[in-house]
Structures are given as C-alpha cells and as structure tokens.
Amino acid sequence: MRAFVFPGQGSQSVGMGKALADASPVARELFQEVDDALSFNLFRLMTQGPEDQLTLTENAQPAIMANAIATLRVMQREGGFSIAQKGDFVAGHSLGEYSALCAAEALDAGTTARLLRLRGQAMQAAVPVGEGAMAALLGADIEKAQALADAAAQGEVCAVANDNDPSQVVISGHKAAIDRAVAMVKEHGIKRGILLPVSAPFHCELMQPAADAWRWPWPMLRWSPRCCRFTPMCWPRRSPRRTRSSCGWSSR
C-alpha cells in the first residue's frame, strides 16, 4: 500500500520551487497555471520573497500547494507513472488536503489555488496578523500539551490544535498565550516549544468566523472523479467537541 501525503502551512520558504522550475518545463507550466488562475505572480513571491509576504496565509497556502503539485507532476513525468497507478491513497495536513484533492484530480490546480487564496483570506480576516500564533511542542504527549495550554491561557485562547505523533503536539491561540506556553514548557516536562512561521492561529476556536464564512464556495465547485482514494484529516479522539471543517475548525 502506498500513500502520497501533502504538507501544511509552515513548510513555505523563500526560494521554494526555483530549482524545480529551472530544471523542468512541467514545473514551469504548473507555476504559470497557478499564476494565471490567481492573476498574481505567486511564483515570483515564492522564489524572491519577501518572506513576510510569503508567510501571509493567503499566499502561503496556494504557494505550498503549487510547489507540491509541481513536484508531483515532475515525479510522474520523469518516472513515467501516474498517481492512479502508484498511489492507493492521498492525504494531507490541513491545506495539504486541498493539494491531495488536486493530486487525485478531483480539482484542477487553478481551482485549488483560487480556493486556497479565498480560504487564506477568510482565515486571516478572522484574526489579524500579529494577534495569533502557533507553536510545536517537542517531547510532549497530548496530556502534557493540554495541561500546558490550560496553564498558559489565562483567559485567552490557548488550545491543542494538532496531535502530530506521541511526542509532538501543536498548540494554537492568542499570541500572548502561546508565548506564555513556550516560556513554560520546562515546567511541564516538555523538551522544547518552537513558534511556527504562520500568520494566524489555525485549528482553534479563533478560526470559527473563517469556518462560518467558508461555506459559500462549495456548492459552486465542479468536482471530477478522483483517480485514487482521498483520506481526510481527522481530529484527535480526545477532542470530542471538535469536528473538522474546510477551514480546520468547527464547534458543535
């Protein structure tokens, strides 16, 4: 069994896609397709920056998708295979789910880029730049992360956002609360806290306005048959009050 898994936000960096585009016309075509769909030179931002503009979620989301799909298309062309032949599943983390749907040919790259630009705008509008943050906790299980989040909140939002594996958990919320949490990691037996390069606090209740605003595009989409099985991201079982949404947050 083989799965193709696509990354989420935080994996962007200035220079992304340049070597691929220099080496492959297939990659250049994909980047141009995305630029045309957005009526914006995203590829120049990806390769030249500035970093603060690339980090903005409305830019980072389509950029990461474009880089992932360009990589996949080059792999398929150079390797002489299709994802339908070699992939049993596609999946992704947060925005990576959109890349996975594009990889599975349910959505074309241009449509996916436009969706991610709108998604990013909705998410950034929910929490202005500088007011939210996320941090990865290394050496933390879900119980330690929850205890730290509870202690750091102090009336603000500080919540477990992603249960990545038994030793890494991501928290999200108001910036001051996340800063407090990072400063308190040793007190809670956690090895290290690392602030993530994102412009909004994803996967927490601060994203509820974005989830509400993000319902409108879906009835207008034209879906194509998937060439392989898509596996959606699921919330940790320990978070029964949360369900996933297209913006990564919904409360019951």
* Cβ-contact 46, 63 below 8 angstroms: yes
- Backbone Cα Rg of the chain: 18
Q: Is 67 helix (H, G, I), strand (E, B) or coil?
A: helix
In the block, tokens 């320990």 appear at: 238
Note if 94 is an active site residue: yes
**Of 93, 174, 188, 203, catalytic:** 203
- Beta carbons within 10 angstroms of residue 88's beta carbon: 12
185's tokens: 């990691």
The whole-angstrom separation of Cα 161 and Cα 170 is 5
Helix 25-38 × helix 57-79 angle, to 10°: 150
Nearest to 43 by CA among 20, 72, 10: 20
Q: Which residues face 108 on adjacent strands?
A: none
**Of 94, 99, 199, 250, catalytic:** 94
Which residues have a Cβ under 8 Å from the Cβ of 233 and sit 6 or more positions away?
A: 91, 92, 93, 94, 97, 244
Q: In which order are the strands placed within the sheet that holds 192-195? A: 158-165, 168-174, 132-138, 192-195
Note if 250 is an active site residue: no
* Cβ-contact 153, 177 below 8 angstroms: yes
Q: Is 82 helix (H, G, I), strand (E, B) or coil?
A: coil
Catalytically active residues are 94, 203
